[in-house]
Structure 1
Amino acid sequence: MANTSTVARGAGSSPAPGHRRNKSGRAARPSGMPNWSIPYLLLVPGLLVIAGLLLYPMFQLAVMAFQKVGLAQIRGTRPAEWVGTENFQKILDNEIFWSALRNTVAFAAVAVSLTLIVGTAVGVLLNKLGKKMSLFVVIGCMFAWAVPPVAQGVIWRSLFDAESGIVNWALNLLPDWLAAPPAGQESWTGTPWLNDTIPLYIALTVCVVWAGFPFIAVSVLAGLKGIPAELYEAAKVDGSGAWHTFRKITLPMLKPVFAVLTVLSIIWDFKCFSQLYVLMNGPTNRDGFNLSMYAVAEAFKPPQKLGTGAAISVVLTIILLIITVVYVRQIVKQEEM
C-alpha cells in the first residue's frame, strides 16, 4: 500500500529522468528545446531547399520583369537597365498576348474538364473490376502518365501526321456521313492538323487528356476505396439508380479529392508548354501561342527580350494564383456550409 501511494505521488510531481519542464509547464528536451518546436525545426531543411530552388528564381524572375535584359546583359557586357512597368505595357498592348491568353484559357477549360470526366469514369470502372483486372488496367494507364511531356508530343505528332498519321487513316475508314473529308478533299490523307490553331489545339487536348487521365483515375479510385460500402448498400435498398447514387453519395464524398485534382489540373494545363512546342515544331505559328509559348518566344527568339518574357511569366503566375485562391475559397465556404 505504501509503495502504491509513493508511486502515485511521484508520477505527477517530477518529469522522467533526463527531462525537465519549462516555465509554461510543458516537457522540454535535455537541450532546453520545447517539444512543440521540434516539428518546425524539422521543416527548416525542406524550406531551405524550396527557397533555393523555387523562391529565389521566382524573385529573380520578378526583378527581371522590370528590367531590360537582352543578349548583352546575359553576356555581362552591359548592366541590366531598369525600365519599370514598360515590359508589362508592351505585352498588354500586343495583340499576340491577348490571343495567347484566349488560347490558354479556352484550352485549359476544355482539357481540365475532359481530363476530370474521363479520369473519373475510368476510376469508377476500376472500382467495379476485380483486383487482378483492376491492377492490370491501372498499370496500363500509368504507362501513359509516365511518358515524359516531350515524348508525348512526339507520339501524338506522328499520330496526327498529314500523310502517314494513324488519325487520318482511321478517319478514312469511317463512312462519309460520320466523318466527311474537309471541303475540296476526297479523303483525310494530307489534312494538316498541326498547321492551323483549332486543329492544333484539338491534337494538344487529346495528347494532354491521354497523359493526364490516369492520375485522376488512380486518385478517384483511392477515394472510392475510402467510402463506406454501407452507404451504397442503403442506397440500393432504397431503390436508388446508379446515376442518382453517384450524384448523391460518390460526388459529395469525393469533393475534397476533386478539389485538389481540379487545382492541380488547372495549374498543369495553364502552363502546358512541352507538348505544344513539339506539336507546333517550335514557336512558329503566333496564332497558336499560349502564354508559356509566348513567353519563351519573347525571351529566346532573336532579338532576345528576357525582360518581356519574364513579364509574361509573372502575369501567368498571377493568373494561376488568382484562380487557385478563388477556387479554394469557394471549396472552403462550401465545406463550412
Structure 2
Amino acid sequence: MANTTTVARGGGSSAPGRRRKRPGGPPRASGLPNWAIPYVLLVPGLLVIAGLLLYPMVQLVIISFQKFGIAQIRGKAAEWVGWANFEKVLATEIFWTSLRNTVVFASIAVTLTLVVGTAVGVLLHKLGKKMSLFVVIGCMFAWAIPPVAQAAIWRSLFDADSGIINWALNLLPDWLSQAVFGRADWTGEPWLNDAFTVYVVLVFCVVWAGFPFIAVSVLAGLKGIPNELYEAARVDGSGAWRTFRKITLPLLKPVFAVLTVLSIIWDFKVYTQLHILLNGPTNREAFNLSMYAVAEAFKPPPKMGTGAAISIVLTIILLIITVFYVRQIVKQEEM
C-alpha cells in the first residue's frame, strides 16, 4: 500500500539505476548553462556586424583625424592633424549651406512621406481585399525601384528640353498659368539648374518612392486595432477626423515613432537621387551633407580626411536624433 501511494503521488517510479533530469539544469551535450546559450548564438551575428559596420566606422574616425589623400592610398603614412579637419569643415560656408539644405529637405520630405503614407494606409484599410491588394502591389513597385532609376525617372520628367512637366504646363491656358505661376511660357525651363527647384524635384522623388513603405506599415498597424472601437465611435456620433485623432493616432504612436526615425535616417543620408538630379557634384549651392562629404573626399584633389570629418558630423547628428526618438518610444511603452 505504501509503494502504491508513492507511485500515485509521484506520477510513476523512475527506472532502476537512472537519475531523473533536473528541469532547468545545464544541458549535458554542450556543457553550457541555459542562460549562456542565447549569447553564444548571438556571437556569429555580432561578428558579422563588427566586420561590416564597426571596423569601417573605426577606420572612418581614424581618417577624420588625418591628412589622407592620394599619397596615403598608395602606401605613404598619413599625417596626424588632430581636430584640424573638423575645424576646417565647420569654418566653411558650404558646410552650413549643406547642413541647412539637409535639415530643411529632411523636415519637408519626412513630413510629406508620413502624411501621404498614412493617408494611403487608411485608404487601403477601407478598401476591399482584392482592391487593397491591387493598390498595395502598385505602390510597392515604386518602393522597389532602385534609387538610381527613381532619380532617372524624375530627371527625365523635369528635363528642360524634353520633359513632360514643361509640356504639361504649356498646355495650361495662358491666363491660368499667369495667375498661378506668374508666367505663361515654360519652354526650356531649367528645373535642375537652380538649388531650390532641384530640391523641389528631390522631394517629389523621395516622397514618391518612400510613401509605400509607410502605407503598408500603417495598414499593418490598423489591422491590429479592434473594430469594436470604431463601431463605438460611430455610435457616439464621432466623425472620421475625430475618430482618427482619438483612436487611430494614439494606438499607432509606436508605429509612427519607428517610421519617423527610419524616415529621418533615410532622408538625412539621401545621396544617389541628388547626385543623379545634379548630374554629379556640380552645383555647390545644392549640396547636402552626404554630397558635400563625397565631393570633398573624391573630387580632385581628394581630401578624404575632410570627407570623413563631414561624415562623422552627419553620423553624430543622426545619433542624437535617433537617441531622442528611441527615448520617446521607451517612455510611451512604459506609460
CA–CA distance in 1 between the matches of 2:32 and 2:50?
Answer: 25
Return the TM-score normalized by structure 1. 0.92
Compute the displacement of 1:40 (Å): 1.6
Match of residue 69 from structure 1:
68
Rounded Cα–Cα distance in structure 2 between residues aligned with 1:13 and 1:88: 73
User: In structure 2, the residue corresponding to 1:27 is in which secondary structure?
Assistant: coil
In the TM superposition, what whole-angstrom CA distance separates every residue of 1:169-226 from its partner, at most 9, and x where no partner exists?
A: 222223445543866x641121111111110000000000000000000000000001
Shift of 1:36: 2.1
Partner of 1:112, secondary structure, is helix
For 1:46 and 1:179, how far apart are their aligned partners in 2? 58
* 1:88 corresponding residue in structure 2: 86
Residue identity matched to 1:140: G
- Distance in 2 between residues matched to 1:48 and 1:313, nearest whole Å: 24
Partners of 1:19 and 1:29 within 8 A in 2: no
CA distance change for structure 1 residues 8 and 272 in 2, over 3 Å: closer, same or farther? Answer: farther
Q: 1:19 to 1:85 in 2, by over 3 A?
A: farther
Give the superposition deviation at 1:11: 8.1
Q: Label 1:322 to 1:144 Cα distance change in 2 as closer, same or farther (>3 A).
A: same
Residue identity matched to 1:130: G
**Structure 2 counterpart of 1:271:** 269
Cα 1:75–1:176 shift into 2, 3 Å: same
Matched residue, 1:29: 27
The answer to whether structure 1 residue 139 and structure 2 residue 151 are counterparts is no
Taking a change above 3 Å as real, the CA distance of residues 176 and 121 of structure 1, as seen in their structure-2 partners, is: farther
Decide which of 98, 101, 116 is 1:100's aligned counterpart: 98
Q: Is the 8 A contact 2:7 2:13 kept in 1?
A: no
Query: Are the equivalent residues in 2 in contact too, given 1:124–1:221 (CA < 8 A)?
Result: yes
Matching of residue 211 in structure 1 with residue 209 in structure 2? yes
**Shift, 1:163, TM fit:** 1.4
Could you tell me how far 1:128 is from its partner in structure 2?
0.5
Equivalents in 1 of 2:202, 2:168: separation in Å?
A: 18
* Residue 19 to residue 61, structure 1, CA distance change in 2 (3 Å): farther
Within the alignment, does 1:117 sit opposite 2:119 as a pair? no
Q: How does 1:145-184 map to 2 (within 5 A)?
A: 145-176=143-174, 178-180=176-178
Deviations 1:24-49 (A, max 9, x none): x8321113212222222111111111
CA offset at residue 151 of structure 1? 0.8
Residue in 1 that maps onto 2:246: 248
Please name the residue that 2:229 is paired with.
Answer: 231
Matched to 2:222, the amino acid is: L
Please give the TM-score of this superposition, normalised by the length of structure 2.
0.93
Q: Which amino acid aligns with 1:194?
A: L
Q: Counterparts in 2 of 1:7-22, with a 5 A limit?
A: 8-9=9-10
Aligned pairs for 1:260-299 (under 5 A) are 260-299=258-297
| Residues 53-78 of structure 1 deviation map (CA, whole Å, 9 limit, x = unaligned) | 011101100111001100010111x2
Q: Secondary structure at the match of 1:194?
A: helix
Q: Could you tell me which amino acid in structure 1 is paired with residue 38 of structure 2? A: P
Q: Percent identity?
A: 75
Q: Judge conservation of contact 2:281–2:291 (CA < 8 Å) in 1.
A: yes
What amino acid does structure 2 have at the position aligned with 1:327? Y
Unaligned runs of 5+ in 1: none
Give me the whole-angstrom Cα distance separating, in 1, the residues matched to 2:200 and 2:241. 29
Q: For 2:93 and 2:176, locate their aligned partners in 1 and report how far apart those are by CA, in whole Å.
A: 37
Contact persistence 1:120–1:217 (CA under 8 A) = yes
Q: CA deviation at 1:330?
A: 2.7
SS in 1 for 2:143: helix
